């Protein structure tokens, strides 16, 4: 059963005596103006909390650059929400921190020929990082609009998956540290997206019908390739077929391409998929067909594994579920975490194993997000 949140019961809640409200806990609510984070506010108010709303400004529109990440509309929506629900509201400017950490990480990673994940690093370094460093001591919990849940045992806090398996965002939270995890609060984690939309519409939240955000926030209206072009440049290189070494065409730099990529190759007679990169010689290798054998492997080599709850002993962890990208489906496998090898052995061969990307590890019942590791070559 889902929480029924409408204007009638919100008015009733606001009339309740102080002792009936949950005012003992100080909540910082990170609201971007989007539908998910916006709905956290009526949900928190309905539970008796009095959240302090923060809008984190990370777009680079004030910098002398080509990027334009307009935040004016989002700030207007967030301001409207704060006024509607009588919440304190502040804007936190983390542009400098975002550029020096998340953006730098992204650029450095693509220069190495690897696949970055800025969204994972944003949660670690900005939302639960720089923001927590500045304001974390003032609040008991940091509430966000992530589709995720958490639970407590005698060993502490564990990150767990959302009710809505399609929208579940634990993949993007799998690098946060334990002190950050303890602060997390996910008001919409037990609701399906359809219910979140319904509440937003009922509450007349301006972003109720807004499409879900796509891509990386700091890019604004600029697509990923344009951003990389501006930061790294272009150097022409060869595109060759892996199986025959035949020269098929030319690309503008290996950093524009990731393993498993199909679009943007501009090759005839396809479909073609990127299956290998030679970063020393700036060569992209591709294979032909909708399901080429060269796309698949059953071994995912890992760098050091980060476990979310360091209080729990994972020495006997063996059979797991895992994801190598943000998707609703889980893969099954066995984890090896030894001195000589760290890897996931998948039960079946899978495609799109991209070094630099994150492999996220889950319990066999798909309920607990155990941790994550960078995929190595």
Class of domain 7-13+21-145+187-219: alpha beta
362-366 LR contacts (CB < 8 Å, sep 24+):
362/161, 362/170, 362/320, 362/321, 362/322, 362/323, 362/330, 363/320, 363/321, 364/319, 364/320, 364/321, 364/332, 366/161, 366/321, 366/330
At 72, is the pLDDT very low, low, confident or very high (cuts 50, 70, 90)?
Answer: confident
Active site members: 122, 217
Helix (H) or strand (E) holding 359: strand 358-362
Q: What is the CATH number of domain 295-374?
A: 2.40.30.10
Q: Which residues, including other chains, have CB under 8 Å from residue 297's CB and lie 6 or more apart?
A: 346, 349, 350, 353
**234-290: CATH architecture:** Roll (2.30)
Higher pLDDT, 116 or 8: 116
Residue 207 per-residue DSSP state:
T
Question: Any idea what the Cα angle at residue 296 is, between residues 293 and 297, rounded to 5°?
Answer: 130
Distance CA 114, CA 256 (A): 10
Q: Are the C-beta atoms of 308 and 368 separated by less than 8 Å? A: no
Compute the mean pLDDT over every residue in the chain, rounded to the nearest whole number. 87
Average pLDDT over residues 359-366: 97
Helix (H) or strand (E) holding 157: strand 156-160
| CA nearest neighbour of 4 among 46, 39, 33 | 46
Average pLDDT over residues 215-225: 57
Convert the pLDDT of each residue in 267-314 to its tens digit: 988 889 998 999 999 999 999 887 777 678 999 999 999 999 999 999
Convert the pLDDT of each residue in 339-358 to its tens digit: 888 999 999 999 889 999 99
Convert the pLDDT of each residue in 151-167 to its tens digit: 999 999 999 999 999 99
Enumerate the domain spans of the chain: 7-13+21-145+187-219, 234-290, 295-374
Residue 376 has pLDDT above 60, yes or no: yes
Average pLDDT over residues 206-221: 65
């Amino acid at each position: 059963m889902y929480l029924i949140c409408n204007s009638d019961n919100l008015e009733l809640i606001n009339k309740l005596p102080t002792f009936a409200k949950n005012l003992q806990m100080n909540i910082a609510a990170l609201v971007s103006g989007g539908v998910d984070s916006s709905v956290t506010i009526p949900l928190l108010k309905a539970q008796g909390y009095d959240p302090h709303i923060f809008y984190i400004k990370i777009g680079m529109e004030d910098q002398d650059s080509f990027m334009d990440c307009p935040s004016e509309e989002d700030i207007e929506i967030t301001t409207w929400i704060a006024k509607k629900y009588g919440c304190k509201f502040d804007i936190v400017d983390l542009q400098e921190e975002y550029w020096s950490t998340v953006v730098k990480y992204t650029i450095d990673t693509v220069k190495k020929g690897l696949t970055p994940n800025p969204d994972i690093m944003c949660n670690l370094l900005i939302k639960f990082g720089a923001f927590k460093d500045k304001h974390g001591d003032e609040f008991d919990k940091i509430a966000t609009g992530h589709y995720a849940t958490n639970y407590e045992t005698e060993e502490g806090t564990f990150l767990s998956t959302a009710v809505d398996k399609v929208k579940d965002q634990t993949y993007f939270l799998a690098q946060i540290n334990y002190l950050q995890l303890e602060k997390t609060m996910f008001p919409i984690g037990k609701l399906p997206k359809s219910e979140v939309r319904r509440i937003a519409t009922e509450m007349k939240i301006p972003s109720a019908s807004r499409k879900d955000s796509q891509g990386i926030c700091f890019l604004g209206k600029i697509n990923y390739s344009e951003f990389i072009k501006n930061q790294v440049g272009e150097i022409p290189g060869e595109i060759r077929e892996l199986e025959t070494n035949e020269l098929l065409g030319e690309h503008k730099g290996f950093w524009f391409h990731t393993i498993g990529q199909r679009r943007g190759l501009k090759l005839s007679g396809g479909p073609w998929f990127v299956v290998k990169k030679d970063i020393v010689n700036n060569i992209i290798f591709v294979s032909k067909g909708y399901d080429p054998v060269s796309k698949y492997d059953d071994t995912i080599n890992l760098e050091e594994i980060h476990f979310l709850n360091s209080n729990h002993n994972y020495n006997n962890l063996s059979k797991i579920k895992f994801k190598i990208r943000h998707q609703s489906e889980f893969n099954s496998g066995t984890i090896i975490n030894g001195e000589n090898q760290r890897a996931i052995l998948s039960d079946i061969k899978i495609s799109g194993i991209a070094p630099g990307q994150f492999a996220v590890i889950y319990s066999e019942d798909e309920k607990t997000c155990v941790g994550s590791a960078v995929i190595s070559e």
